[in-house]
Structure 1
């Protein structure tokens, strides 16, 4: 299901409009005014009788600060808990209604605080809303997943009741392509959208009808399996500063978080396949020997290209190099390769043709319907002319190709600037040296730092090796930040070397020291 199926309008609050909340420091009066706005909207909680309507209103209020970032601490603590304090101080029926909702929908800390404050208001005689006792009676029912044949997207449908009544369904869209867009370790896709409907039977009938086609399947999950699928996907979404979620996702976030918690634990996701170097090489060899690869003219370039395709599938698609889809191929050609990989001119020329042959070969091996193979091939050819525009060979910026190839023996295009910063003297009489070779690297560093002691040269080499590997990422981030601030390179290199030597055996301490250096400057 892409988006909301026809006839199913997401159920949610109709009139809540919370003023945009920025978590940067503001005068106390202004923050208090924003919280008063929220309590004003919370009065709608007194007019509804359905616990589902009430939960969705509270979820939208809590979503007012979803995705906001602050350097002063956890946003849930700074804003969410401050709102609870404000509601408790007001002591109105709307305040109690909001606290009752947060006691179920909030984070563990928010929930504990809200419950304690709500009980105090009840003891003081504040009237409790009629739905309040029902929100804790949620029961998980049957769960399903709708999957497209490409493996791009899972739409998970989880049904619930309040102690057997008011059946409703939560639909969660998990995107299995976007998770690989971020260079962070992840074992799942990410949640991109969520919505709720009370028309459960119509929804399920729609899903079954849609699954009658050859490019979609609809299967039942146990509630524990649904939780095992959704929990890591939601965690990945929440960990990203700019996750590409729908415009309405913030309103449903707290509701979604609580409903995932309501599913029983114990389910397990199928483990991602592990592809060793030998297994990857065997896969590449079988492809190159296949009939789909017969028309590839430059087998040497094709071999290097297919290695990149397999690497992308193993590292960015959760161990699924054989999975092909229009979206995956477009992201590979137009996003990952231009950002990450250095290609020689023959490889640039060959890559779209190798990818098209791989689509045909992998599609046959995985049983992708012929219609799906055709659509994927169309996407590859549509992206081919854009690939020439998106991929920028470093040589076009005036860099010597031999120098680039020495700095990028592994093809890691993102490493070029930090390696050039670490080892800038690869010209003239030093042009024949290999910076990836330890003895040649020491000679380069001796030329850059004449008169340095052996201990100092060892420190500079440790720094160069860390920059070469990008370990930790904070090292190059700090160097870039200070260069942007006008720092002189030789002074910056010396300061970074001292930090690396001091904290070489404690990676966390090194990262803390680098963050302090970014904040304080040279």
Structure 2
């Protein structure tokens, strides 16, 4: 039999109690007029799923937490400090401030503050909901890991049980390609088993593995990855991270201590030398045993053993992209003819490594396709006037300006599909356009029709006026072309709601209508489609690959064509284009 949630009993219903309640309501109304935003948001959150309040407080703490890296922005003088905010809650006797104090106390490591906050809450007349009054009895019920054979990163999935029996799930994605750090995290109001099933459905890949993870090891790994994220600049930010950082830290802190963090094998010089000779003696290594290719191979092994998981045999589309578009142009000082030999060597080495690891050919082909996709830009980069070493790092941090406006123009061109398209970019609104069924196979048309109906409904419900029309047209185009290019994506088991939400998310992000400043919040988009916001970013890869769209790390969502951008977004790109051109003219005069 479950225990009754503890909480303070309401006062007896006598005349003095009614007078006190009336006076308190008047005082609450007066203070509510002074602080409408936060108090009203808390009141609404208390009427919803418990996660609403937990996420709200976590978001507040993310704003208050000072940056750990030297290039972070200075705290805004308009944002109160943590101590000032807490004192205002302690001095304001409202049901909503009591709720805030309860969550702040649960999230805090300061024992004195926790005791003071709980003593203040206990002395107030309003009873908190049972789950909130007993928040300290929350526990983690399951710890699982969702990983992939290519080893780019893992989702850590923690099932959580609140004192009143409410379940929710915390998902933390640790990315190895950018330093084994938390790159994204989110929480979902669903049991962990359902979330794991949804992650498997989104991945739709037999090489994605779900396994139990030792709770102490999970804690060590997540804490370690959060620490690394905190000192990384520029920081990785999504719609939910680092807003949910305090919530993740609280949940992770419920796990036992003493576990082992990420442990990657270190390759000795002798092991790397042996790997070199094995490759050069292999069928894939034929024709590469000469001083130039050996030197380049040494660079590949340096990159592979010194980054990510430290495994020079691990190659994926993502770390191929990092190698070609960042690491080699930034770090390797050599003449162009020498660096021109790298792509062919990389293709051969990827084939060798995947054969050694027994990786399925579909992943080998995807990785080789990434080499093909980035080769032209790589060759352009190694010929460009570019900064290297410390200067390149400072440029990435924003401390140094790009060498010339060409950099900015190239960034804009990538978003719309090339410099010629950028030059002729129209800013006219997209027309109201019917769905194009050309090329969509008959067997997937019923499924595509379901997704189309959901997309149309979502655009009409979530966006206003012209934005709704343009979003609907752009989403129809993306859905039509994806279904024609890769109908297999619509023969799989992914829910139509996830597919529709992902299409809207992709177009909305690319057009700055979802996420970011002033855009539709991702959680509202997810709520409309009845799924988790994290599902969209993970499912998006299926559709982007179908259309051959590659988005560089940290670049946000780029669909590579103005066909998917609303007029306002194209106008902003055109304005930036003209600004870069003006700067280019100034440099020439």
- Shorter-chain TM-score above 0.5: yes
Contact between 2:145 and 2:154, CA under 8 Å: does it hold in 1? yes
Equivalent in 390, 396, 416 of residue 381 of structure 2: 390
- Is the aligned partner of 1:333 residue 2:324? yes
SS in 1 for 2:260: coil
User: What residue is the counterpart of 2:187 in the other structure?
Assistant: 195
How far the C-alpha of 1:67 sits from its partner, in A, is 7.3
SS in 1 for 2:184: strand
Alignment CA distance shift 1:354-1:164 (3 Å): farther
User: What residue is the counterpart of 1:274 in the other structure?
Assistant: 266
- After TM superposition, the structure 1 = structure 2 runs for residues 262-411 of structure 1, keeping only pairs within 5 Å, are 262-269=254-261, 271-296=263-288, 299-392=290-383
Cα separation, 1, equivalents of 2:236 and 2:46: 34
Equivalent in 211, 221, 225 of residue 217 of structure 2: 225
How far the C-alpha of 1:133 sits from its partner, in A, is 2.2
- Is the aligned partner of 1:58 residue 2:60? no
User: What residue is the counterpart of 1:258 in the other structure?
Assistant: 250
Task: Give deviations 1:15-47, integer Å, cap 9, x for gaps.
Answer: xxxxxxxxxxxxxxxxx9997633342233554
The gaps in structure 2 that reach 5 residues or longer are 1-31, 402-589
Alignment CA distance shift 1:46-1:325 (3 Å): closer
Equivalent in 90, 103, 106 of residue 104 of structure 1: 106
Alignment CA distance shift 1:245-1:202 (3 Å): same
Cα separation, 2, equivalents of 1:352 and 1:34: 63
- After TM superposition, the structure 1 = structure 2 runs for residues 430-449 of structure 1, keeping only pairs within 5 Å, are none
SS in 1 for 2:212: strand
Task: Give deviations 1:209-241, integer Å, cap 9, x for gaps.
Answer: 678843311112122232232221122112224
How far the C-alpha of 1:205 sits from its partner, in A, is 3.3
- Is the aligned partner of 1:95 residue 2:97? yes
Contact between 2:340 and 2:379, CA under 8 Å: does it hold in 1? no
Alignment CA distance shift 1:373-1:230 (3 Å): same
SS in 1 for 2:352: helix
Cα separation, 2, equivalents of 1:325 and 1:374: 10
Alignment CA distance shift 1:300-1:35 (3 Å): farther
User: What residue is the counterpart of 1:84 in the other structure?
Assistant: 86
Cα separation, 2, equivalents of 1:303 and 1:257: 46
Structural RMSD (CA): 3.5
Q: Which runs of 4+ in 1 moved over 6 A?
A: 32-36
Contact between 1:84 and 1:114, CA under 8 Å: does it hold in 2? no
How far the C-alpha of 1:168 sits from its partner, in A, is 2.2
Alignment CA distance shift 1:145-1:363 (3 Å): same
Normalising to structure 2: TM-score of the pair?
0.55
Contact between 1:45 and 1:97, CA under 8 Å: does it hold in 2? no
Alignment CA distance shift 1:192-1:128 (3 Å): closer
Alignment CA distance shift 1:119-1:160 (3 Å): same
Count of residue pairs brought into register by the alignment: 362
Cα separation, 1, equivalents of 2:267 and 2:239: 37
- After TM superposition, the structure 1 = structure 2 runs for residues 121-132 of structure 1, keeping only pairs within 5 Å, are 121-123=121-123, 125=125, 127-132=127-132
Normalising to structure 1: TM-score of the pair?
0.62
User: What residue is the counterpart of 1:519 in the other structure?
Assistant: none
How far the C-alpha of 1:361 sits from its partner, in A, is 0.8
Cα separation, 1, equivalents of 2:202 and 2:346: 30
How far the C-alpha of 1:171 sits from its partner, in A, is 1.5
